[in-house]
Amino acid sequence: MANTYLQRSVTPAFPPSDSPIIIAGPCSVESEDQILATAQALSKIPEVKMLRGGIWKPRTRPAAFEGRGEEGLVWLREAKQTTGLPIITEVATPEHVELALKYDINALWVGARTVVNPFSVQQLADAMRGVDIPVFIKNPVSPDLQLWIGAFERFQKAGVTRLVAIHRGFSYYKESPYRNFPMWEIPIELTQKLNVPIVTDVSHICGNRELLQATAQKALDLATDGLMIECHINPSEALTDAKQQITPDELKSLLAGLTFRSKSSNHVERDLANLRSEIDDIDNELLQLLARRMEVSAQIGEYKKRNNVTVVQMDRWKKILAEHVATGADLGLSPQLIDEVFEAIHQASIKRQSSIMED
Ligand code: PEP
Ligand code: MN
């Protein structure tokens, strides 16, 4: 089972378990005190099995904090030695790989901005030849499943056997409450195609603290093998991603509020959650489309008002409805459904345009 593989491959010391592993730690390693205090607090939470900390930070603008580099690795290793937690950090170049190995990093992750570039991924894969530590591959920033799969293939070809996926959401052109839209169907398809364990990085999906709990639960319902959650001893002072980091105490309550389902016993519930998630996405799309339709309808209303045209043009509507019924029949939808849905939409449209006329 994928999760057992994750437990075994990432930290051989884990007792075999069916429940998802939790990877927690700050977005960035900022100072010796910050990482040690965070790690100490996290090590007291039994579910936390691994400590994350960014050493080299890919920032959008060059003036921002770009990570402590090698000095940070010294502190991260110290955190590992004092807490016993295995450590994981992000690498983007062969030099990063070399330094991370020098400081006894247990596992590496490749960031979303690096996975979009096959040249960089290939360089990292080449640097990992003959090195036997797990590599976690984040999804690329864009919703491109093939690009994500390609990164796995490059590492596999270089002989890296322990690979794990990290789902951190995708850039999305529409308004959304998330920093990176989850598009759950993409990670689900990845795990069906590659049979790799998957960790959900809820912090980078949400971009804020408020959505973390519900998103973590959703990830668990969809059978994630692990959660990555950014934790900082003092989030409001964090040098990166301050809005989405939580304290170790907050992590403790978040975990206490989650329902962990056993993977093996609850596949019916998980299959259902999977399908429901697809329905939720579709309903969301329907809502966005309806809103757009109403907006265009209002623009038409304004136009009619300016040009003195009547709101209802029955002939045109009858023709459109007949066309929709025919298209619906081709798609296996009953005439009654099409009639009722479009009649309701049309009525709402007329109401909107009439109120524009009266203004
Ligand atoms: C991170 O994990 O801190 C990070 C930079 O993530 P991503 O590559 O997902 O943006
Ligand atoms: Mn971050």
Surrounding ion ligand 2 within 5 Å at CB are: 27, 241
**Which domains are present in the chain?**
2-265 (3.20.20.70), 271-358 (1.20.59.10)
Q: Write the residue with the smallest CA distance to atom 4 of ligand 1.
A: 111
Q: Is the pLDDT of residue 13 over 60?
A: no
Pairing assessment for the beta strands 135-138 and 163-167 based on DSSP bridges = parallel
pLDDT band at 17 (very low <50, low <70, confident <90, very high): low
| Beta bridge pairs of residue 109 | 90, 136
- Quick count: other Cβ atoms within 10 Å of Cβ 250? 16
| Among the listed residues 302, 305, 341, the one whose alpha carbon sits nearest the alpha carbon of residue 321 | 341
Residues 6+ apart with CB under 8 A from 132: 160, 161, 162
Residues 273-293 have pLDDT tens digits of 777 877 887 888 899 899 999
CB 99 within 8 A of CB 71: no
Question: What is the Rg, in whole angstroms, of the alpha carbon atoms belonging to the chain?
Answer: 25
- Backbone phi and psi for residue 14, each to the nearest 5 degrees, phi listed first: -60, 140
Give the pLDDT confidence score for residue 10 in this predicted structure: 52
Closest ligand by atom to 238 CA: 2
Residue with the nearest Cα to atom 1 of ligand 1? 27
Q: Is residue 89 classed as helix, strand or coil in its secondary structure?
A: strand
Dihedral-angle region of residue 306 (phi above 0 means left; psi in -120 to 50 means alpha; beta otherwise): alpha
Q: How far apart are the first and last CA of the chain?
A: 64
Largest pairwise CA distance in the chain: 79
Q: How far is the CA of 280 from the centre of ligand 2 (A)?
A: 27
- Whose Cα sits closest to atom 10 in ligand 1? 112
CA of 240 to the centre of ligand 2 (A): 6
291: its two tokens: 């809103």
Query: For position 198, what pLDDT does the model report?
Result: 95
Q: How far, in Å, is the centroid of ligand 1 from the Cα of 250? A: 21
Phi, psi of 246 (to 5 degrees): -125, 165
| Distance from C-alpha of 85 to C-alpha of 52, rounded to nearest angstrom | 10
Q: Which residues line ligand 1 (CB under 6 A)?
A: 27, 54, 58, 111-113, 138, 168, 204
Strand partners, 138: 166
Q: What is the pLDDT of residue 179?
A: 96
Confidence band of 84 (pLDDT split at 50, 70, 90): very high
How many Å lie between the centroid of ligand 2 and the Cα of residue 22?
Answer: 16
- Find the helix or strand (DSSP H, E) in which 22 lies: strand 21-25
Taken in order 187, 152, 193, 269, the sign of the CA dihedral is: negative
Contacts of 13 (CB under 8 A, 6+ apart): none
**Alpha carbons 224 and 210: distance in angstroms, whole number:** 20
Task: Tell me the whole-structure pTM to 2 decimals.
Answer: 0.79
For 18-68, what is each residue's pLDDT tens digit?
Answer: 679 999 999 999 999 999 999 999 999 999 999 999 999 998 898 899 999
| Structural contact between residues 88 and 52, judged by C-beta atoms closer than 8 angstroms | yes
What is the C-alpha separation between 280 and 284, in angstroms, rounded?
6
The pLDDT of residue 298 is above 50: yes
- Contacts with 189 (C-beta within 8 Å, 6 or more apart), sequence order: 145
Nearest to 166 by CA among 42, 23, 57: 23
Mean pLDDT of the chain: 91
Q: Name the band, by pLDDT with cuts 50, 70 and 90, for residue 308.
A: confident
Give the pLDDT band (50/70/90) at residue 267.
low
Are the C-beta atoms of 110 and 135 separated by less than 8 Å? yes
pLDDT tens-digit map of 96-119:
999 999 999 999 999 999 999 999
Q: Which whole number is the average pLDDT over 122-138?
A: 95
